[in-house]
């Protein structure tokens, strides 16, 4: 039995805003195949090592370093993708929408694996990369006061008291493919790891494809700097169902008083 597929339903979900342009080019009536994805990839997508990206069938469990997931991407551009698998499909959508950032993340993974060969632990740098790759979101803020509230865990003030300002001056772009998967059946407490970037009025008024290109370039620049990989706390937790318009439940003030979902910030030194 084929996996259920409703492209138009995904297009209507606010969490898929960053993927809409790619989704709109996928089949409407059936689950996308690797051939569909490769047709969109063309020759433009490149791995961290410069290889042309291709979505390929998964191989057997790797016995050699050369066959490990990130190494295959870096050296041969082969992104192992299971057919009729939402998690892998959403990863492909992120490759298609954020090619520069995915390439930088792939390059770091490869370099870290080479530098730490023989060590059992993955290391902090790869933990940061994985956190963002699976659960990342970019918050493009046109008002530094709103960015400060987000970083300070001031959820009620940000999303309720300044709701109109958030709707006008902040754009959210989901990067993590695990977050996209959770968006199909969202539950209280879904939390992404936010990269907060400052943007100007020109960005806020630009068309969606131009905004996405800018966000991809800015995120790639951020992760290209090895200092961004120093701590898993460099990215801000963001309970995504609190974003205005992302849940019907958040239309009331009391929604933001749920301490289980909207937790206070970390204490100094913690």
Supply the mean pLDDT for the chain. Answer: 93
Residue spans of the chain under pLDDT 70: 1-2, 64-66, 118-120, 266-270
State the pLDDT at residue 44. Answer: 84
Domain ranges of the chain: 7-124, 130-257
How far is it, in rounded angstroms, from Cα 103 to Cα 181?
A: 21
State the pLDDT at residue 268. Answer: 37
State the pLDDT at residue 67. Answer: 76
How far is it, in rounded angstroms, from Cα 198 to Cα 56?
A: 37
Contact 177, 91 (CB under 8 A): yes
How far is it, in rounded angstroms, from Cα 252 to Cα 248?
A: 9
State the pLDDT at residue 270. Answer: 41
State the pLDDT at residue 267. Answer: 43
Cβ-count burial of 184 within 10 angstroms (0-12 exposed, 13-18 middle, 19+ buried)?
middle
What tens digit of pLDDT does each residue of 30-81 get? 999 999 999 999 888 999 999 999 999 998 877 766 678 999 999 999 999 9
Cα–Cα separations (whole angstroms), residue 153 to 79, 147, 182, 187, 265: 36, 10, 22, 20, 5
Nearest C-alpha neighbor of 229 from the set 146, 97, 150, 133: 133
Task: Kindly give the residue spans of alpha helices, DSSP state H, lying in 116-194.
Answer: 124-135, 144-151, 155-156, 163-169, 177-182
Contact 157, 149 (CB under 8 A): yes
């Amino acid at each position: 039995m084929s996996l259920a597929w409703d492209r138009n339903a995904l297009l209507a979900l606010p969490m898929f805003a960053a993927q809409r342009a790619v989704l709109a080019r996928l089949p409407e009536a059936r689950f996308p195949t690797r051939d569909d994805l490769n047709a969109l990839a063309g020759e433009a997508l490149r791995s961290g090592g410069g290889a042309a990206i291709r979505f390929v069938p998964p191989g057997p469990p790797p016995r050699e370093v050369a066959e490990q997931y990130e190494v295959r991407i870096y050296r041969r551009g082969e992104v192992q993708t299971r057919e009729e698998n939402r998690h892998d499909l959403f990863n492909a959508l992120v490759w298609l929408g954020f090619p520069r950032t995915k390439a930088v993340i792939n390059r770091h993974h490869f370099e870290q694996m080479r530098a730490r060969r023989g060590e059992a632990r993955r290391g902090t740098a790869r933990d940061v990369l994985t956190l963002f790759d699976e659960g990342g979101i970019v918050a493009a803020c046109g008002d530094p006061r709103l960015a400060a509230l987000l970083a300070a865990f001031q959820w009620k003030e940000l999303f309720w008291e300044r709701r109109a300002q958030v709707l006008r001056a902040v754009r959210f772009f989901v990067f993590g493919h695990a977050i996209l998967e959770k968006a199909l059946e969202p539950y209280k407490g879904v939390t992404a790891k936010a990269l907060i970037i400052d943007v100007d009025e020109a960005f806020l008024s630009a068309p969606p494809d131009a905004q996405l290109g800018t966000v991809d370039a800015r995120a790639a620049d951020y992760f290209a700097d090895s200092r961004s990989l120093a701590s898993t706390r460099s990215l801000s937790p963001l309970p995504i169902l609190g974003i205005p318009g992302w849940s019907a439940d958040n239309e009331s003030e009391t929604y933001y008083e749920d301490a289980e979902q909207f937790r206070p910030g970390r204490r100094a030194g913690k």
